[in-house]
Structure 1
């Protein structure tokens, strides 16, 4: 099958390499050093899914109409990237699209731009480090979750789940919208490592940072509840557990980030937001903690910890300097 992957970063590179290894004809889009490296050496994959090199076609924009499109850019770049590739001969409208990214709005955006396409979301729990052009290391190999809408997984979802599963573990997800919210809670792991320069494991091991992370997760769950969200089942989390978490004292609620750390294992995980900062790229924090702030404002729920984390990540983006845990916590406390 001809598959195009728009955005060959950590996740895009992972899916491109695994789909190529499974025998598909894969084209990726990339720019700068990443494009040059992939053209010269392919995509080198290591870690949890094994060692391999995928010799894929690489271009700045898709050169031929694919049979399946994976949109794997950061959330803030998704619409522009999709528009840039719509001029491919034959167009993209009508091509099935799988949106692989964080946040809540990607599938709706793809449906709006490509009204004749079947559009799906894919929630990737894979932890992947991309710090060297053309090389991706999987630090946590995990299934990804494919779906759309709030009901049971439909026949089209199950069709593409079966195709993808030949290359990478994929689960057909019921209540995909609820699962997006659950993944957003999981993504509260990203902000504090991006502020401090520590790994996710180091942040969770630090009591003060762990408490701040727990508070950010609590705010996110409370916003979801206020909006009537039924959280989807994902990686041991689900509606009942998250609603119970929302009622627990903060000290006991720390079990949530601790359980996530346990699932992650011992291989250092920088988090996707910190990886963006280390590459000198804008982060997608406005679609993670920032999404909680916006949704909270619409629902009348205060989210001071998420607002502070969002602002501090932008500060690190501008300054290029990480904050010590003590300084970060002082800033968050002052804002909250």
Structure 2
């Protein structure tokens, strides 16, 4: 099968390699510097899925219509990446591999003749450099679209993906996106402090902020009448219970997440963007919670603060010390919460 991967970052390189290893013909799109290095050296994968090296066709944009395309750019780059390939993609199935809530909708708007799906992945992959990816946590991925049970097309493509990496067909994909958004609350504090996800979870004051951001996300989802999908041991029922717990008890959720990650430092995708001097997708993570809260006629002050702090680090390129983060959080607590 001819498969295209748009975006050659950590997940793009990962999925291209796994598909190639499964016997598919791969084309990957990449920026100029990465393009030349991948063309010369291929893509090398290490870590959770074993070591693999593959040679793939690399382009600036697609030159032929594939049988299946994965969009693996950051959320803020998706519309432009889809638009510049739309002439070849429209009418061909597309899977959007992104955080946040809007990826599938954006793809469907730009590709009205395509079947568009979303893929939620819990894999932790580290971008070492062009064509170099290390998997720090191997995990399952979930394919779906819309609400309700997985349809026949979703089940077909789930089977194709599952031959390359563990994939399940998600029921109520929109609800599953919200559950993944709760998981993605792990990203902001590492980007603000430069610490790994495990280090954030191990630090009691930072873990408290993390827990409050997660509880706030669930509370906003509830206000938006969301039924949360089941992912990584979380369900609609368990998340609703979690949202109402005292923060001290709610911290068991991030502690469980940290225990599943193992000892290899997980930087999170947002910190990786900071380290590469790229803009982050924080507006599609914590920022999405803020926007959804506004639609529900309420506020999301913890997520608003974390969004603002990530943007400060994007500009200054200087991480904040945990004590500085706590001071900002305490100030928020004292003023308006």
- TM-score band by shorter chain is over 0.9
> Which whole-Å CA distance do the structure 2 matches of 1:49 and 1:40 have between them?
23
**Is this contact kept in 2: 1:227–1:299, CA < 8 A?**
yes
Indicate yes or no: 2:116 matched with 1:119: yes
Match of 1:287 in 2: 284
Q: For 1:86, what is the secondary structure of its paired residue? A: helix
> Which whole-Å CA distance do the structure 2 matches of 1:175 and 1:234 have between them?
11
> Which whole-Å CA distance do the structure 1 matches of 2:262 and 2:315 have between them?
31
Match of 1:224 in 2: 221
1:333 to 310, 330, 335: 330
Distance apart, 1:329 and its partner CA: 1.5
> Which whole-Å CA distance do the structure 2 matches of 1:236 and 1:207 have between them?
23
Indicate yes or no: 2:207 matched with 1:207: no
> Which whole-Å CA distance do the structure 2 matches of 1:333 and 1:307 have between them?
14
Runs of 4+ deviating beyond 6 Å: none
Q: For 1:138, what is the secondary structure of its paired residue? A: strand
Match of 2:104 in 1: 107
Task: List per-residue Cα deviations over 1:162-217 (Å, max 9, x = no partner).
Answer: 01111111001111100000000000000000000000000000000000000000
Q: For 1:85, what is the secondary structure of its paired residue? A: helix
**Is this contact kept in 2: 1:309–1:332, CA < 8 A?**
no
Q: For 2:108, what is the secondary structure of its paired residue? A: helix
2:307 to 299, 310, 322: 310
Q: Report 1:87-236 matches (<5 A).
A: 87=87, 91-236=88-233
> Which whole-Å CA distance do the structure 2 matches of 1:163 and 1:7 have between them?
20
Match of 2:258 in 1: 261
Distance apart, 1:335 and its partner CA: 2.9
Match of 2:24 in 1: 24
> Which whole-Å CA distance do the structure 2 matches of 1:278 and 1:33 have between them?
17
Q: How many residues align?
A: 333
Distance apart, 1:333 and its partner CA: 2.4
Match of 2:33 in 1: 33
**Is this contact kept in 1: 2:191–2:271, CA < 8 A?**
yes
**Is this contact kept in 2: 1:210–1:257, CA < 8 A?**
yes
Distance apart, 1:101 and its partner CA: 0.3
Distance apart, 1:99 and its partner CA: 0.4
Match of 1:14 in 2: 14
1:319 to 316, 322, 327: 316
Match of 1:277 in 2: 274
Q: For 1:44, what is the secondary structure of its paired residue? A: strand
Task: Choose 29-38 or 107-116, whichever is displaced more.
Answer: 29-38
**Is this contact kept in 2: 1:4–1:70, CA < 8 A?**
yes
What residue ranges of structure 2 are gaps of 5+ in the alignment?
A: none
> Which whole-Å CA distance do the structure 2 matches of 1:43 and 1:332 have between them?
42
> Which whole-Å CA distance do the structure 2 matches of 1:335 and 1:80 have between them?
36
Task: List per-residue Cα deviations over 1:49-97 (Å, max 9, x = no partner).
Answer: 010111001111112111101001100000011011124xxx2111000
Task: List per-residue Cα deviations over 1:276-323 (Å, max 9, x = no partner).
Answer: 010010000000000001101111222111011000100000011100
Distance apart, 1:32 and its partner CA: 3.2
> Which whole-Å CA distance do the structure 2 matches of 1:311 and 1:165 have between them?
38
Distance apart, 1:33 and its partner CA: 2.8
Indicate yes or no: 2:235 matched with 1:238: yes
> Which whole-Å CA distance do the structure 1 matches of 2:56 and 2:6 have between them?
13
Task: Choose 326-335 or 201-210, whichever is displaced more.
Answer: 326-335
